[in-house]
Amino acid sequence: MSTRFDRIVEDNAWCPGCGNFSILAHLKEALEEMGLDPLQCVVVSGIGQAAKTPQYMHVHMFNGLHGRALPVAQGIKVSNPSLTVIAEGGDGDMYGEGGNHFMSAIRRNADIINIVHNNMVYGLTKGQASPTSQRGFKTPVQTEGVHVEPFNPIATAISLDASLVIRTFSGNKEHCKEMLKIAIAHKGYVLIDIFQPCVTFNKINTFKWFKENVYVLPSEYNPEDKVKAFEKSLESHPFPIGVIYKSPQKGVLEDVLRDESQIGSKPLYLHEVDFHALSNEMNKYI
């Protein structure tokens, strides 16, 4: 399906068969089907193969530094709340280098969509362990196998009361696209952790492995029950996919800061200095 979000790129840096291709396609289709305007969408990314996503789609792009997509994305959202802001990267980018920002972004609850391509390995640097690598996973660095427990982004996000927590799998097109649409439609911070295979550096967690190790949450599952959601987040082999947690409604960062500063909803580039008030204020300092 062609979309207004397509960009013709001659030289794509991803390996043939990489899960990133499906995520890119699902995202573009989700944005198209929701009728969004490319001129109103910003994709912010860090470093890694997943972080190259905005290079390959027709949207505004801030392709910054490793692990730093989330603070940039929050700055953009506060500066101009009318933009749809997506922060996208891999498991190393978002959960490793950007771990502190991940935690803080959830707590701040800006209205941004945090897409994490989770392939349980470092691809760009050629196959070292990532925070989500499974225990025992052997790499050129972890020669005897990973000796720590994998980071659980879903449990972490729920414990921090993230506004919306989703997991999906790149290989399940319908599910992945539907989940992306739910994420984009939601007001508040969304974590959407997407399982995807790294065909070159992860020979354990393959397409087949993910397919066999996920199951779709049943329709009667209630994501608003926090304790149940937390239980679900601890399940593995198979891992549940779907909307795992939805917090009670709460204020978003950009609204809170704008209320506090009484700046209204206009983008910051339209802000004007009140020189009269400034003179009056300075007159108090005599």
Partner 1 sequence: MRDSVSVLIGGKAGQGIASIETLLTKGFKRAGFYTFSTKEFMSRVRGGSNTTLIRISKRPVNAPVYKADIFVPLDTNAFYHAQDRITKETFVIAKKGDFECDCTFYDHDLEGLAKSVGNPIVSNTIAAALIFGLLGCDVNVLREIVAQLYSNEMLEVNLKALEIGAKLGQENENCLYCIEPNLSAQQAKDFFLSGTEGIGFGAIAGGCNFISSYPMSPSTGVLTFLAKQSRNFGICVEQAEDEIAAFQMGLGVWYSGGRAITTTSGGGFALMGEGLSLSGITETPMVVYLAQRPSPATGLPTRTEQGDLELAIYSGHGEFPRIVLAPSDPKECFELVRKAFELADAYQVPVVLMSDQYLADSYFNVERFEIDPIAPVHHIVKTDADYKRYSINSEGISPRGIPGYGEALVLVDSDEHTEEGLITESMSVRNEQNTKRLQKRPLVAKVAILPDVEADGEIAVVGWGSTKYIIKEAVERIADKRLSTVHFSWVHPLCESQLAPLQKAKRLIVIENNATGQFAKLLRLHGITADDQILKSDGLSFFVDELSEKIALLLKEIR
Rule CB under 8 A: choose which of 25, 29, 38, 194 binds partner 1: 38
What whole-number distance in Å separates Cα of residue 133 and Cα of residue 123?
A: 12
Q: What phi, psi does 171 have (nearest 5°)?
A: -80, -10
Rule CB under 8 A: choose which of 31, 42, 86, 243 binds partner 1: 42
Please report how close the Cβ of residue 196 comes to partner 1 at its closest, in angstroms: 21
**What 3 state SS string does the chain have?**
CCCCCECCCCCCCCCCCCHHHHHHHHHHHHHHHCCCCHHHEEEEECCCCHHHHHHHECCEEEECCCCCHHHHHHHHHHHCCCCEEEEEEEHHHHHHHCHHHHHHHHHHCCCEEEEEEECCCCCCCCCCCCCCCCCCCCCCCCCCCCCCCCCCHHHHHHHCCCCEEEEEECCCHHHHHHHHHHHHHCCCCEEEEEECCCCCCCCCCCHHHHHHCEEECCCCCCCCCHHHHHHHHCCCCCEEEEEEEECCCCCCHHHHHHHHHCCCCCCHHHCCCCHHHHHHHHCCCC
Rule CB under 8 A: choose which of 73, 113, 129, 176 binds partner 1: 73
Should residue 269 be labelled a site residue for partner 1 when binding is judged by CB under 8 A? yes
Q: What sign does the CA torsion over 59, 61, 67, 70 have?
A: negative
Should residue 257 be labelled a site residue for partner 1 when binding is judged by CB under 8 A? yes
Should residue 199 be labelled a site residue for partner 1 when binding is judged by CB under 8 A? no
What whole-number distance in Å separates Cα of residue 172 and Cα of residue 68?
A: 29
From residue 99 to residue 128, what is the string marking binding to partner 1 with x (rule CB under 8 A)? -xx-xx---x--------------------
Should residue 268 be labelled a site residue for partner 1 when binding is judged by CB under 8 A? yes
Should residue 59 be labelled a site residue for partner 1 when binding is judged by CB under 8 A? yes
Rule CB under 8 A: choose which of 25, 49, 50, 68 binds partner 1: 68
* CA terminus-to-terminus distance, the chain: 67
CB nearer to partner 1: give 116 or 243: 116
The site that binds partner 1 (CB under 8 A) totals a number of residues, namely 61
Please report how close the Cβ of residue 141 comes to partner 1 at its closest, in angstroms: 23
Rule CB under 8 A: choose which of 36, 65, 199, 217 binds partner 1: 65
Please report how close the Cβ of residue 49 comes to partner 1 at its closest, in angstroms: 12
CB nearer to partner 1: give 76 or 129: 76
Please report how close the Cβ of residue 247 comes to partner 1 at its closest, in angstroms: 20
Should residue 8 be labelled a site residue for partner 1 when binding is judged by CB under 8 A? no
Should residue 3 be labelled a site residue for partner 1 when binding is judged by CB under 8 A? no
What whole-number distance in Å separates Cα of residue 47 and Cα of residue 246?
A: 29
Which amino acid is residue 262, in one-letter code?
A: Q
Rule CB under 8 A: choose which of 63, 125, 159, 213 binds partner 1: 63
Rule CB under 8 A: choose which of 52, 117, 177, 246 binds partner 1: 52
CB nearer to partner 1: give 70 or 241: 70
| Residues at the contact surface with partner 1, assessed by CB under 8 A | 9, 13, 38-40, 42, 44, 47, 52, 54-55, 58-65, 68, 70-80, 82-83, 100-101, 103-104, 108, 253, 257-258, 260-263, 267-269, 271-279, 281-282, 285-286
